[in-house]
Each structure stands twice: as C-alpha cells, then as structure tokens.
Amino acid sequence: MITGADLLIESLVDEQVDTIFGYPGGAVLPIYDALYRSLAPFKHILSRHEQGSIHAAEGYARVTGKPGIVLATSGPGATNLITGITDALMDSLPLVIFTGQVAKGVIGTDAFQESDVMGITTPITKYNYQVNHVSELPRIIKEAFHIAVTGRPGPVVIDIPKNISQETSPARSQRDFYLPGYQPTKHPNPLQIGKLADALSRSKKPILLTGAGVVTAKASDELKAFAEKYQLPVTNTLLGLGGFPGTSNLSLGMAGMHGTYAANMGIYECDLLINIGARFDDRLTGKLEHFAPDAKVAHIDIDPAEIGKNISTAIPVVGDAKEALKALLNSDIELPDHKAWKEKLEHNKTTYPLWYERSNDVISPQWLTEQVYRMSKGEAIVTTDVGQHQMWAAQHYPFDKPNRWVTSGGLGTMGFGFPAAIGAQLGAPNDLVVALVGDGGFQMTLQELSVLKDRNLPVKVIIVNNEALGMVRQWQESFYEERYSESLLSTNPDFVKLAESYGIRGLRVDKEDDVVEVLEDVFAYDGPVVLDCRVEQKESVYPMIAPGKGIQEMIGVTK
C-alpha cells in the first residue's frame, strides 16, 4: 500500500519531472513530508511567494517546452497562484498545478484556509480536477500532463484534499486514460491547405503574420523555409518574436500598438494575410474595421475557437503550425510577380525605421537594450515584465531564435519578468539569462532574490529604472494632460543595497559613457547580479497606435 502523497511523487517521477516550484502549508504537509522522505530525482525550488513559483514555472515552460510544475497549499496559497494561472492560459503555456485542499469532510464549511479552487480556476484553466479518491491520482496526473502539453498548451489544476494525500491505495494504480472528448486536430485538412495555396498563387500583396503558435509548434525552420522559398514578407506578434529571424531581410518587425510602420502598413495594405499561430488580440489589431481591410484572411491555428473570433476568416486551417507549413512547402505554388509590393515594403522599412534620440546626460533605454543585444551576441534569454521596457526590448532586441523571449503578453503581468528568469535559468542552466525589468514591476516580486542566492543562479537582473510606472506615465502625458496620478515612484529603495542585503552583487550605472564597461563586468561575472540603470523618466515608446485608432494611424513614426 502507498499513500496519496507518495503516489503523487511516484507519478512525477514517471513523468520525468526534473524541477517543481512550490511553497509549503498545512494542506500539503503530507506531500512535503513525502517529498522529504523520497529519493525523487527532481529538485524543489522554494519560492518566497506563490506568485514567484508560478511565474518561474511559466519561464521554465517557455524555454523548455515541458510543463512547469507548481505545488501550493490551500486557501491563500492557491489564490496567490491565480494571476499566474490566468497569465499561462492567455499565453498558452503548459503548467500542471497541484493545490492542497481541506479534507473532504469539511469542504464547503468555510474551514480554515478553504477556498473554492474548482470554482475559481474553472474559467482560467484548460482543465481542472478535484481528486475524490486516492486511487484516482495516478490517472488524473497522467491526464493532466497530456492535456497541458497537447493541442493548444495551457494550465491544468489538480486540487487534492488533505485526507487524499494521507489515505493509502494499492501501489499499482490505474495510469491508463481515454479522453474521447479531447482529440486536438494536429494535421490540417488538405482541402483547406489547397485553398490557401490557391489564394497565395493569386495574391499580389501577401504577408505572413506569425505568433506564439509557431514557437510552440517548433515550426521556426519550416516558417523560414516557406518564407524564403516564396520570398514572403513576415511580421510577428509580441509573443511571436524569435519564431522568424528578426534580422532577416524578409522581416518587417513586430506589428501592433508599438509595432513598426512597415509591419502595420503591410497589414493595412495587403491583399492576403496568412496568420500562423497568432491571436487577433486588440493590441495587435487596433480598430477592427481598419485591420487588413482589403485582405483575404487565412488563419492557421490548432485552437479552432480562435479562428473567426475577432477577424472574419475566409480560409480557416485548423491544425499544428508545423504540419500546416510542411503541407504548404509540399504544395506546388506558382506566385505572381511581387516586385512592386516588396519594393514598397522595403521603402517603408528604410524610410520609417524605429528611432530614438540619445542624450549626453542620461541613458537612453533603447540604446541600453541594443547594448545588451550586442554584448550578449543575441544569445541571451530575455525575460521582461510589462510596460515600456518590454516594448523597447521587443523593438530593439532582434530575436533570431525561438524560446529566447519570455514575456507576459496577453495578461500583461507586472512582476512576471524576474521570477520567470529564475525558471528560465533552471530550464536552460547553460544559457545567459537576462531579466530586463522596470523598477515598478521588480518591486512586486523582488523577494525571489532569495532564490537567486539559494541556488546561485547567474541571472543578470537589469532594472530599467525611470522612477515611474513608465507606460502609465506615458499614457497620462499623452491622453490625460500630464496629470501623473500615482505613477511616479520617488521613494524607490536603493536597489544596490537591497541586492547586497540578499548577499547578491549590486551595481548602478547612470551615465551612457559607463554602460559598456559595466555591462562587460556584469556579463563576465559568474553569479547573479542586480544592475540598477538610471534612465530618462520622460522617455516614451514610439511609434504607437492610440486607443480607438486603426493600425494605419500611428503616431510618433518620425522624429
């Protein structure tokens, strides 16, 4: 006989888990005791807040493609995970989350540290379970791992009452499962591929829009081959960065609210838009009636619910991006002459590039981002929070490889970047990991500096410090007549002393002339570093599509 807690550990070993992120508490004490007694070949990372656990698991999942595993107790332990679960659902990240629950006999009585995890997580998970009998655990865990990583990836929650962890079951429990109602479509319909190929053969102004689905499907090589074979211009969403080389001459850069002029005008003027693995979210489209108004739209997505949700789609293709691109590459497509179209796009690229002004007095955050790219040779895994520093990184760090960009796209979560960097470093221990964070977001989860010290993880934390909630400040400047209501952070801590208080090296730089030397020092250091970079507070992110405007109505395209 074996306890439920021991069954859980055994199941994680069966799934070849190497890392779990968690925080103990009363309802999961049997599980933590089993973990202590076990010889399981995986490590447990003790975060200092459950939000740190789940964002670290997201970072781990993004760079490895494997599910991130989280363990938290009942009540506040579980509810502290809610932001991260929602974030993972919106950005399609595979997580398996174990939450403790009060014993079955007191569920529904407002028992100490009880929360309705099933009710709370139903709308923010791909699926959720509450275990009713200890013998169910192995099968449920097997199903959860399958559901989390197949089809469109997402978070799965398993809520385990405390008595289930303590009860015993035969050692060999049922692990097989059959899910007839869950059969994701991986291979696209050949007829739809044929329609797409036919549309491409008739198009005079085609464009590819690529999203996170390309990265998740490991379809970057097929996308590059497809674009180069037919010399198709490519733009990407925020989460699609790295799916196609940003330095390719076919790349137009990122589209959307802070996208490039060339990318947005390409979408506005194209006659065929082929969306591969991207959601048509509002930060991408702007005002819907102005988004690709003259284009026939084809949409390749493994999640049929995304197709036609926001943008009317003429050619729906349900399936895995890699399989769809393989099918297109095997199609014999004869394209018309695109010379005039490509010349126009190239003209837009060269005439209206991204721009910024440098100052001799303070560090330009865009220039700082470019130096991080140059000195890391573009090889770093970069994590960010949300806000100005995120957009500057997306614009000025040309990602050429997939899984090098870890950011919170759909939910836009402050406090994401630093713990995500911890997870990314654990998932890719031999890679350089840079957490580009704002001074506001960093203060939401900086207690995870303890994990850096505990594990001596060589994460380089670069704080783009403008003593403000930068994007909020920019919007207040542009749309609220410079009424900076509660957006200026004049009482920031001394980040150098703060890092040192955790036993971590802290540095500060406030002059551009010193940046290169300091970054060389940071990247050469074999250990974690927190670098406080003082940048211009009033710097803004341009170009920009203002709220309620169309994709062709950008402001700040030129100086």
Any idea which residues carry the catalytic annotation? 50, 112-113, 162, 471
* Residue found by looking up tokens 């300091």 in the block: 518
d(CA 233, CA 173): 53
Q: Are strands 554-555 and 544-545 parallel, antiparallel or unpaired?
A: antiparallel
- The angle subtended at Cα 121 by Cα 115 and Cα 127, nearest 5°, is 135
d(CA 413, CA 246): 25
Q: Name, in order, each residue with C-beta under 8 angstroms of 428's C-beta and a sequence gap of 6 or more.
A: 63, 64, 381
d(CA 410, CA 371): 27
C-alpha closest to that of 215 among 320, 311, 125: 320
Helices 417-427 and 50-64: crossing angle in degrees, nearest 10, is: 50
**405-439 burial, b for 16+ CB within 10 Å, e for fewer?**
bbbbbbbbbbbbbbbbbbbbbbbbeeebbbbbbbb
DSSP-derived 3-state class of residue 130: strand
C-alpha closest to that of 387 among 472, 480, 460: 472
CB atoms closer than 10 angstroms to residue 133 = 11
Helical segments of 397-489, H only:
417-427, 439-445, 449-455, 470-479
DSSP-derived 3-state class of residue 39: coil
SS3 content of the chain, % helix, strand, coil (to 5): 40, 20, 40
Structure tokens at 30: 């049997």
User: How many Cα atoms within 13 Å fall on the side-chain side of residue 484?
Assistant: 14
